[in-house]
Amino acid sequence: MAGIALVGYIVCVAAVVAVVWLVVRGRPRRTEPLAASVQSLLDAARRRAVIAVVFSGVVIVALFLAGSFLQSLAGLPIALAPALGGSAGLLLYSATPPRAVVVASGAAREASLTPRTPLSFVPPVGTGLLAAAVILQVAFLIFTGVTSSPDGSGRYRTIAFQTADSASASSPYPGWFYGVPLLVATVVLVAATFLALWRVSSTPALPQRERADVDAGWRRATNRIILAVGGAMLLLQFGGTALQSGSAMHNTYFEGVPAIWDVLGQTLAGAGLVLMIGSIVVLTLATLWAFTLPDAALAAGAPAGPRNAETAPAGLPR
């Protein structure tokens, strides 16, 4: 089963790469030159975003391989792959030093007096969807833990039904064995996402007030990618656990057990498949946005970000 999942994931990743390559290759090139400082800013932002997305995929594949070959771990690396892969990519982004803004000697330097926070340039819709996914996933993992039963080794990774004259059990089922590590990994992914947003907000701004829109644009474009990476990993993790849970419920069901369990199992399996497909779509968008970040940043550079007409001299905290 893990081998099939790995092959399927690799095929999906290959499809994502092909789609992004075709779109990026076919898009019109910008003809008008940009100022050197702006071009340097956008190139650095694109490079960091692309590396973060690619590194996330590499870590996921590595964990899938580890889970396939290390049978003693009962597939735990595969279950944790999405959250840990996304966290690794976002932490790598956060650890990358910010680009240096060179100001000519004696040149004036301007800065907004409005402080930036990790949520200053975050799309509200994306934040709300991400928060909803986290809450639903935490509740679902707790539900599978409460409804799980121990296997022969005492690990709570089985769902079992029993009547007066029959009994049935199926595994793997998330339960506490997978659920607790998944809860911890989800917290790590949320923290890594917030840290990456903080990294964007703490990067020094361009020193010219007339370029504030470009500065705000790259922050909006980058934050959109960060939320997409975190969201794709959450959807992949949620979808995988829902699909596995639904399959286990359906396989365990027999006549005499309340039919709601069979209905719930089939519903979860279908929803899990939809969520996994959704994760591929969001990951494709994140990859596409990463490669086309300069254009997106210039397009997103509207005066809706935190700005102030007043400016401060160089050296004033921002």
Q: Model confidence over 285-300: pLDDT tens digits?
A: 898 888 888 877 777 5
Query: What pLDDT is stored for residue 143 in this prediction?
Result: 95
How does residue 304 score in pLDDT terms, banded at 50, 70 and 90? Answer: very low
Please, where are the H alpha helices in the chain? Answer: 2-26, 36-69, 76-95, 124-146, 175-202, 212-252, 260-291, 293-300
Over 80: is that where the pLDDT of 281 sits?
A: yes
The token pair at 193 is 């996402």
pLDDT (average), residues 4-31: 65
Would you state the pLDDT for residue 7? 63
Task: Name the strand (E) or helix (H) holding 158.
Answer: strand 156-162
Give the DSSP H/E element, type plus range, for residue 111. strand 111-112
* Across 246-251, average pLDDT: 90
The answer to whether 37 touches 45, Cβ cutoff 8 Å, is no
Confidence at residue 112, expressed as pLDDT on a 0 to 100 scale: 62
Q: Does the pLDDT at position 42 exceed 50? A: yes
> Per-residue confidence at 203, pLDDT binned at 50, 70, 90?
confident
pLDDT of residue 111: 59
Enter the pTM of the model: 0.82
3-state secondary structure of 133: helix
| Averaged pLDDT score across all residues of the chain | 81
